[in-house]
Structure 1
Amino acid sequence: MMLRIRSRDGLERVKVDNPRATVAQLKELIQTQLQIPTFNQTLSTNQNLLLAKTPTDLLKFSDMSDPNTPLSALKLSHGSIVFLSYEGERQIRGGPAVSPAGSFGRKMTMDDLIAKQMRVSRQENPHCESVSFDRDCANVFQYYVNETLAFAVKRGGFMYGVVTEEGKVEVNFIYEPPQQGTGEELLLMRNPEEEKLVEAIALSLGMRRIGFIFTQSVVQEKKDYTMSNREVLQAAELHAESGLKEWVTALVKLEVNEDGAADVHFEAFQMSDMCIRLFKEGWFQTNIDKDCDPKLSKMKKEVVVGVKDVREVDNDFFMVVVKILDHQGPLTTTFPVENRITQVTMRALKSHLDRAKSLPFVKRISDFHLLLVLARYLDLNTDIPTLGECVQTQSTLPEGYQLLIQSMAETAA
């Protein structure tokens, strides 16, 4: 069988011929095939191993610490992923030594010299400590994709929230722009006027755009990558556009659990500094043929990976794992979400207010998606800041605004 080994260097493969192989034998194979000494290996089936920063952290990953444990007992089979942590440097297999002057007999051009400076390696640490999702907004996003779209097509949204002084990213609502998704691609049909309203609401709530979230379809489920080359391009473009070093890219997908049922799974990453630099400077090939390997990103010019000059880079080199947490944010997420199959009308406003009539009025409107509907009819410079401040502080809404919003709801009914 073939096992996939994911380390800071990206995704590599190790061939295991013995069906009764143990952890110790796997380590020997890794030493032989990947040139990493057995004593320097920490293995686990838990991807959080790649976040471990100290020897103490590594000790927490003990599922593969017993050298006599059979791989079959760990439910590892052909195509399974094993995560590997090691210290020091190594020469990537298949990579001959390359002198700074380039290949023998070849003159160095200016492009060659620039390429030598573009050394793509694994970025060890993200610029944010973690990303925490408001439970309700994350659930509303995945539930729609799961129950309505059945993960048959891709869907995406912009995450809004705050970045704390400690560098922690907190996601409090998700805005879903107009879009069209297929099993392989996601086209965001950006609406500048609507996004202007979204930004005004976020500002009034003391929040900002802090990331991009998207789903992978069941069409992609068995593909040999974490993010495809198209997804890397889209994530890099939005990250570069943001100008925010703590920007987070999150993906949602279905994974088969031990009982054979499908679970919804969230993962979070930052695109590496080198990835963003390469994108900004136009190194990526943006025209992707159907025959291209989706786990590899093509470059217009050669870059250095390990000791090799290449024009194709494993997408994993561009991704930095971010720890995921959850929290209960300040907003509710019970109002219908924009730009979905069912169009949101003002009738939804009356239904929402009636359902929540036992709550204080400010609590009834403490929902981003509701505020987005109101923003289409209110003044961005006066009304939205007033509503946002009341929602942010949970203070009593001025009576005039209460009457106005109720009137809008009654008129629509």
Structure 2
Amino acid sequence: MAKMMLRVRSRDGLERVTVENPQGTTVSELKSLIQTQLRIPFQNQTISTNQNLLLAKTQEEIARFTDMANPNTALTALNLAHGSIVYLAYDGERTVAGPAFHPAGSFGRKMTMDDLIAKQMKVTRQENPHCELVSFDRDCANAFQHYVSETLAFAVKRGGFMYGTVSEEGKVEVDFIYEPPQLGTEENLVFYRDPEEEKAVEAIAMGLGMRRVGFIFTQSVSQDTKDYTLSNREVLQAAEFHSKGGLKEWVTAMVKLEVNEDGGADVHFEAFQMSDICIRLFKEGWFETEIGEGDDPKLSKMKKDVVLGVKDTKEVDNDFFLVVVKIFDHQGPLSSSFPIENRNTLVTLKALKTHLDRAKNLPLVKRISDFHLLLLLARFLDVANDVPALAVCVHTQSPIPEGYQLLIETMANTS
């Protein structure tokens, strides 16, 4: 019979033991092999096929694992085969040796337990987010969900980037949502990024004293029957935007329909942070980014094993990557009544005239205090200078300089 390789999981991580004659090898002989190959004294070992052995904290608890206590039991009788895992608890300390081949300059170097642990990617739940809470401007949140509810009927996905401020305590306030050009289906959301438009968005945000603080998306009604919080595709997209966001308080928000007690449907907002380990895995390229038709959407696939609990796996339940964030609401400094970019209806200068005429009695700075209106104006202004200057006026509620007033009135009257 061919040699058999057994994987041995201990507090030091995962190691391997080679069994030359699997058919005739007993538990006692396996412990001798562990002593020889892993340098753990025979008498210090307790081995078991039960992974809970590694959770035992006292000798009394360890002694309860008796499936491999009989030294004469054959490995074949324990259903151990090539690649099986045996769990090992032992007394004492040891130094884990490095690989047989040492790169130039490190000959003879020993690998410590810390070195070995650093080479393992352990996935655990993160209890606390980096942001204290997220608060949505009521008008901007309503404008987003109303379009998805009334126009798209939650039949397809929709998304955007959230902009606002972050306090020293980690409180995130969302004051406007920018919706890039996009295509949404029942399962997928694709952004068609427009660099020139996004430059204008950033210039407006800078003048308003705001920045990009997160990603928001909707789930379609067809997803409501699925057994997950976020799908594997949604985890990948959220992790990508989070990793590029450059903000530890970055928030991922999800909007969906939920059936209420009366059998009707309510729009429901949820907020998360993608965990630190999720972002690290994404940045270091551990995620499988190609998702097959038969893949379970509630599981994220890895390119190599990660440690989940006490087992090695290439599949992680998406919920392990989510850290729940508390949601509040507030009345922000901007209105959200101007038509919103990149939707079914093209926004033109005619909308500018209609909007300005609607509130003639108010100062011009009040009438243009709307991100979506400023984004329309940015099409016709110098993004590097004029757009931030106009946004600063809105931020400080200062009178609009006469030159800009004439320019805005001319644009409105040429529609």
Q: Same fold (TM over 0.5)?
A: yes
- 1:268-347 maps to which residues of 2 (within 5 A)? 268-347=271-350
- 2:357 is matched with 354
Residue identity opposite 1:343 in structure 2? L
Give the unaligned 5+ runs of structure 2.
1-51, 53-84, 91-97, 102-114
- 1:137 is matched with 140
Distance 2:158 2:346 in 1: 17
Change (3 A) 1:109 1:218: farther
1:154 aligns to 2:157 (yes or no): yes
Contact 2:200/2:387 (<8 A) preserved: no
Distance 1:100 1:186 in 2: 48
Contact 2:199/2:383 (<8 A) preserved: no
More RCO (CA 8 Å, sep 6+): 1
Kindly state the Cα deviation for residue 163 of structure 1 after the two structures are TM-superposed: 0.3
Distance 2:254 2:99 in 1: 41
Distance 1:235 1:109 in 2: 41
Distance 1:109 1:344 in 2: 67
Residue identity opposite 1:173 in structure 2? F
Contact 1:116/1:304 (<8 A) preserved: no
Highest Rg: 1 or 2? 2
- SS of the aligned residue for 2:249 comes to coil
Distance 1:109 1:135 in 2: 62
The structure 2 residue matched to 1:258, chosen from 240, 257, 261, is 261
Contact 1:331/1:368 (<8 A) preserved: yes
Change (3 A) 1:97 1:120: farther
Distance 1:134 1:369 in 2: 15
Distance 1:338 1:309 in 2: 46
Kindly state the Cα deviation for residue 361 of structure 1 after the two structures are TM-superposed: 0.7
Task: Give aligned pairs, total.
Answer: 313
Instruction: State the Cα deviation string for residues 120-173 of structure 1 (Å, max 9, x = none).
Output: 000010000000000000000000000000000000000000001111000000
- 1:214 is matched with 217
Change (3 A) 1:332 1:98: farther
Aligned-residue Cα RMSD (Å) equals: 2.2
- SS of the aligned residue for 1:166 comes to coil
Change (3 A) 1:276 1:168: same
Change (3 A) 1:115 1:291: farther
Contact 1:162/1:210 (<8 A) preserved: yes
TM-score by length of structure 1 reads 0.73
Percentage of pairs with the same residue:
74
Distance 1:262 1:238 in 2: 30
Change (3 A) 1:405 1:99: farther
Distance 1:176 1:124 in 2: 31
The structure 2 residue matched to 1:365, chosen from 357, 365, 368, is 368
The structure 2 residue matched to 1:185, chosen from 178, 183, 188, is 188
Contact 1:97/1:307 (<8 A) preserved: no
- 1:91-130 maps to which residues of 2 (within 5 A)? 98=87, 117-130=120-133
Distance 2:88 2:146 in 1: 53
- SS of the aligned residue for 1:141 comes to helix
Give the unaligned 5+ runs of structure 1.
1-33, 35-95, 102-106
Change (3 A) 1:304 1:261: same
- 1:230 is matched with 233
